[in-house]
Amino acid sequence: MKESVKKTLSDNVKGSCCTSGYTPDTNKNLSAAPNNEEIDKILTCGDYPDFPCDDSEAHLKTDEACDWFKNKSAQLEQEVESREKKETTNTEIQQVTTEELNALVDSEQTLRLTLELQDDHFISKFTKWMSSITDAFYEYQVCGALWILSACVEGKVSLKLKQETIKPNLWINCIGKSTTSRKTTVVNKTRKTYETITDSTLFNDDYSLEGYLESLSMNPVQHFVRDEAAGLLAKMHKQYNEGIFEAECAIYDGQNYKKTLSSGKTRTPRVFEVKSPYVTHFYATTPDNYAMIMTTMDFLCGYGFRFLFCCPKYRRETMDITLETEEDVESWTAAITWIKKYRNTLQQYPSIEFTATTEAMTLYNTLLRKLEDICESQDNEMLNAAIGRNQLHILKIAMLLELGKAEPSFCITQDSIKIAFHMVTSFFLPSLLDVINRLQTDIKNNQIVRVIAALQNSGGKARRSKLLQNTNLKSKDFNECIDTLIESEVIREVQETGQKARTYILQDTKDISIILKQISSFSPFSSVSSLVQNLDNTTKLTKMES
pLDDT in tens, 229-262: 999 999 999 999 999 999 999 999 999 999 887 7
Kindly state whether residues 209 and 329 are assigned to the same domain: yes
Kindly state whether residues 341 and 477 are assigned to the same domain: no
Rounded to whole angstroms, the Cα distance separating 432 from 299 reads 10
Kindly state whether residues 128 and 277 are assigned to the same domain: yes
Task: Please answer whether residues 194 and 148 qualify as being in contact, where contact means their C-beta atoms are separated by less than 8 angstroms.
Answer: yes
Query: Which of 16-25, 60-69, 320-329, 434-443 holds the top average pLDDT?
Result: 320-329
Crossing angle, helix 414-423 and helix 381-403, to 10 degrees? 130
In this structure, of 53-62, 122-131, 185-194, 346-355, the range with the lowest mean pLDDT score is 53-62
Q: Is residue 393 part of a domain?
A: no
pLDDT over 90 for what percent of the chain?
43
Q: What is the CATH number of the domain that holds 447?
A: 1.10.10.10
Query: Which of 82-86, 106-110, 261-265 holds the top average pLDDT?
Result: 261-265
Confidence at residue 19, expressed as pLDDT on a 0 to 100 scale: 39
pLDDT tens digits, residue range 6-21? 444 344 433 334 433 4
Task: Identify the H or E element spanning 481.
Answer: helix 475-487
Q: What angle (nearest 5°) sits at the alpha carbon of residue 123, between those of residues 117 and 124?
A: 60
Q: Is the dihedral of CA 175, 180, 186, 189 positive or negative?
A: positive
pLDDT tens digits, residue range 285-297? 998 899 889 988 9
Domain count of the chain? 3
Q: Is residue 127 part of a domain?
A: yes
Task: Please answer whether residues 52 and 17 qualify as being in contact, where contact means their C-beta atoms are separated by less than 8 angstroms.
Answer: yes
Kindly state whether residues 452 and 330 are assigned to the same domain: no
User: Is residue 542's pLDDT more than 80?
Assistant: no
User: Is residue 527's pLDDT more than 50?
Assistant: no
Kindly state whether residues 151 and 49 are assigned to the same domain: no
- Calculate mean pLDDT across residues 311-329: 86
Q: Is residue 533 part of a domain?
A: no
Q: Is residue 339 part of a domain?
A: yes
Please give the single-letter amino acid code of residue 492.
R
Q: Is residue 430 part of a domain?
A: no
Q: Is residue 403 part of a domain?
A: no
Confidence at residue 344, expressed as pLDDT on a 0 to 100 scale: 93
Terminal C-alpha separation, the chain = 73
Please say which residue of 311, 331, 350 terminates a domain. 350
Kindly state whether residues 218 and 172 are assigned to the same domain: yes
Kindly state whether residues 461 and 513 are assigned to the same domain: yes
Kindly state whether residues 213 and 81 are assigned to the same domain: no
Q: Is residue 28 part of a domain?
A: yes
Confidence at residue 100, expressed as pLDDT on a 0 to 100 scale: 58
Please list, residue by residue across 292-310, b when 16 or more beta carbons sit within 10 angstroms of its beta carbon and e when fewer do: ebbeeebbeebbbbbbbbb
Rounded to whole angstroms, the Cα distance separating 441 from 435 reads 10
Confidence at residue 96, expressed as pLDDT on a 0 to 100 scale: 54
Confidence at residue 319, expressed as pLDDT on a 0 to 100 scale: 87
Q: What is the CATH number of the domain that holds 127?
A: 3.40.50
| Domain around 60 | 3-91
pLDDT tens digits, residue range 75-88? 556 665 665 555 54
Kindly state whether residues 302 and 215 are assigned to the same domain: yes
Confidence at residue 378, expressed as pLDDT on a 0 to 100 scale: 74
SS (H, E, C) 112-125: CCCCCCCCCCHHHH
Q: What angle (nearest 5°) sits at the alpha carbon of residue 270, between those of residues 268 and 276?
A: 150
Kindly state whether residues 122 and 70 are assigned to the same domain: no
How many CA within 13 A on the CB side of residue 47?
A: 3
The pLDDT-based confidence of 59 (bands split at 50, 70, 90) is very low
Rounded to whole angstroms, the Cα distance separating 153 from 261 reads 32
Confidence at residue 488, expressed as pLDDT on a 0 to 100 scale: 76
Closest CA to 53 of 35, 66, 67, 71: 66
The pLDDT-based confidence of 382 (bands split at 50, 70, 90) is confident
- Calculate mean pLDDT across residues 172-180: 91
Radius of gyration in angstroms for the set of CA atoms belonging to the chain, rounded to a whole number: 32
Mean of all residue pLDDT scores within the chain: 79
Residue 74 burial (CB count, 10 A):
9
How many CA within 13 A on the CB side of residue 171?
A: 20
- Calculate mean pLDDT across residues 377-396: 86
Task: Identify the H or E element spanning 173.
Answer: strand 171-175
Rounded to whole angstroms, the Cα distance separating 236 from 295 reads 12
- What are the Cα distances from residue 222, in Å, to 111, 336, 474? 31, 21, 43
List of E strands, 180-287: 221-226, 257-261, 270-274, 278-285
Q: Is residue 387 part of a domain?
A: no
Confidence at residue 499, expressed as pLDDT on a 0 to 100 scale: 78
